[in-house]
Amino acid sequence: MRQDRCIIFSTGNWDFLSYNVKLVRYNLCLVMTLHGIGVAGIGTTGKSVVEKISFSLPDARCVTLDDSKWNISGGRAQEIKLPLDFDRSIGNIKRMAWNSTEEISETFKDVDSSIVVTGLGGMVGSSAAPIIAQRLKEDGKKVLGVTIMPFKFEKDRLFRAAVGLKKMKVICDGVVIIDNQDFIEKAPQTPLLHAYEIENVWISKFISSLFSSDERFGLNENEIYGFTSNNKNNVLAIGTAEGSSMAEEATFKVSSSLRRQSKSNVNGALMCVVGWKDLSVGDFSTIISTFRGMTLCEGEVKTGFYASGERNLTVYALAAVEHTRFEDWDPLSAILGDRELDLDPCCGMKLDEGDCSKICRID
């Protein structure tokens, strides 16, 4: 970091001078960290999550890319909209996404770390999110992908989601996988639209807790990016509870969720505990021991606590596992083994009148 020289003229009031020097340093630090995080929401699901994040993380740079009609409330996020009447072929979506990367890059120019949130399986999320993530990586940003996988009954989306997830794993420093199907397992009677809304709220709270600058006993940014980048499959599970045994109940729900999503034991985890400010040391011991026992986790478990003042508890467990059921959605992986199809996210983009000079990235 550049250190400029300053000449200070003393007035003889050293207390006043010291106060002003501290104030200048504080303001300098505030300016430097004002936009430490950039969040990009790709597709309708990503846009919904980012809308909520824009309120809970007001200092973050927020941008969305989608083709929906509705606008984000509050004006805290920059919206880039794809035309509603354009040719919705995969190649065309990729081309338009690439054309938007310059604007997103400019928006994120003063951030060090970025989060790309998207629902995979749809045309926009699966096609555009890897392109946005790749551009941010090329800009020298740390990139964390947050991917929401479709319900298992959405048969037409499964393969596209699996391929999109594979691309995100290749491009991003780390990827967090969130399973829509888990909502059916937890609450099968929940109305579909309400389930989406609940999930979007939980995801936004999870991201906001991890990257908030509020006073907390928590996990720092380097731990989050380090953990996710060291593991191929990072699965997020969420458990909520209230009452006298909320620590054990919430952890039980989290552990049961992870067992449904993974075919293997947990290798390690980051646990974000959000809720009652008077949570005891014994409660934390219960959370860790219950989690280890149910998931057979022998690796490190790091815990962050974020007090909300409410007499309830939400436990987010970001767990590293060897295998998830999402690999089964891509039958080509079993055939090809270590050999891969071309995973360049820009491959297959549609050119305007064959003019290659209009798009620098084309395979």
Domain membership of residue 195 (yes or no) is yes
**Coil vs helix vs strand at 204:** helix
Q: Would you state the pLDDT for residue 2? A: 36
DSSP code per residue over 40-60: EEEHHHHHHHHHHHHHH-TTS
Domain contains 266: no
Q: How much is the pLDDT for 17?
A: 37
Q: Does pLDDT of 11 surpass 70?
A: no
Which one of 208-222, 279-293, 329-343, 344-358 scores highest in mean pLDDT? 279-293
Query: What SS3 class is residue 37?
Result: strand
What is the pTM (predicted TM-score) of this model?
0.80
Query: What total number of domains does the chain contain?
Result: 1
pLDDT of 223 over the 80 cut? yes
Q: What is the pLDDT averaged over residues 131-144?
A: 93
Alpha-carbon distance 142 to 111, whole Å? 9
Sole residue written with tokens 């639209």: 193
Query: At 163, which CATH number?
Result: 3.40.50.1440
Instruction: For the chain, give the mean pLDDT.
Output: 78
pLDDT at position 198:
78
pLDDT tens, residue by residue, 21-74: 333 333 333 333 444 789 999 999 999 999 999 888 888 899 999 888 888 887
Q: How far apart are CA 62 and CA 242, in angstroms?
A: 33
Any domain includes 51: yes
On the question of pLDDT at 106 being above 80, the answer is yes
Going by C-alpha positions, the residue among 39, 344, 324 that lies closest to residue 167 is: 344
- The pLDDT confidence band at residue 14, using thresholds 50, 70 and 90, is very low
Task: Flag whether 274 is in a domain.
Answer: no
Task: Show the domain range for 84.
Answer: 34-213
**Residue reference for tokens 């995969």:** 90
Eight-class DSSP state of 246: H
Query: Which tens digit of pLDDT belongs to each residue from 315-355?
Result: 999 999 988 888 777 766 666 555 555 556 666 665 555 54
User: Residue 152 phi/psi, 5° resolution?
Assistant: -65, -25
The answer to whether position 197 is within a domain reads yes
Burial track 84-114 (b if 16+ CB lie within 10 A, e otherwise)? eeeeeebebbbbbbbebbeebeebbeebebb
Evaluate whether residue 206 is within a structural domain: yes
Both structure tokens of 229: 């980048």
